[in-house]
């Protein structure tokens, strides 16, 4: 027979499992979208940067700047979905409708613009870091 504490732990685990699955799916979708974007990115091609390496950098950098404090934070889960949707807007069948939805999903046009800036700044930071890494940053050698 299970003790009360063991029973409650198992019940809690069963209740949290669907949240974990959804969070992983949202995070994976965002990561996949970023990787696909990096494969299309002309500067990644021109500078001969591995798209997967660039994507990992961009993902890690945007994670730090997204709303929410941890992976299962509801704000973070929404951010994963919203950022993925924002990045796929160019392939939307109705870009204006998607833009309107994104404004609503992010809470306002300003928050959507802020999210776009976070993503763009993350990309620029990654280009800088990766190119310095490839060149052997002189500041690191001193």
- H/E segment holding residue 69: none
The reported pLDDT for the residue numbered 141 is 43
* pLDDT (mean) for 4-16: 62
Percent of the chain with pLDDT over 90: 63
Distance CA 75, CA 65 (A): 12
Q: What is the DSSP letter of 91?
A: G
Distance CA 38, CA 32 (A): 10
Q: Over the chain, what is the mean pLDDT?
A: 85
Residue 65 pLDDT greater than 50, yes or no: yes
Q: What is the DSSP letter of 1?
A: -
């Amino acid at each position: 027979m299970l003790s009360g504490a063991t029973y409650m732990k198992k019940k809690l685990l069963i209740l949290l499992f669907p949240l974990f699955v959804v969070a992983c799916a949202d995070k994976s979708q965002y990561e996949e979208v970023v990787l696909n974007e990096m494969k299309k990115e002309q500067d990644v091609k021109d500078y001969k940067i591995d798209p997967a390496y660039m994507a990992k950098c961009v993902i890690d950098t945007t994670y730090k700047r997204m709303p929410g404090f941890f992976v299962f934070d509801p704000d973070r889960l929404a951010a994963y979905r919203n950022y993925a949707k924002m990045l796929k807007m160019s392939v939307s069948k109705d870009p204006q409708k998607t833009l309107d939805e994104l404004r609503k999903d992010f809470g306002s046009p300003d928050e959507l613009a802020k999210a776009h800036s976070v993503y763009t700044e993350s990309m620029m930071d990654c280009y800088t870091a990766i190119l310095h890494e490839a060149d052997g940053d002189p500041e690191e050698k001193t």
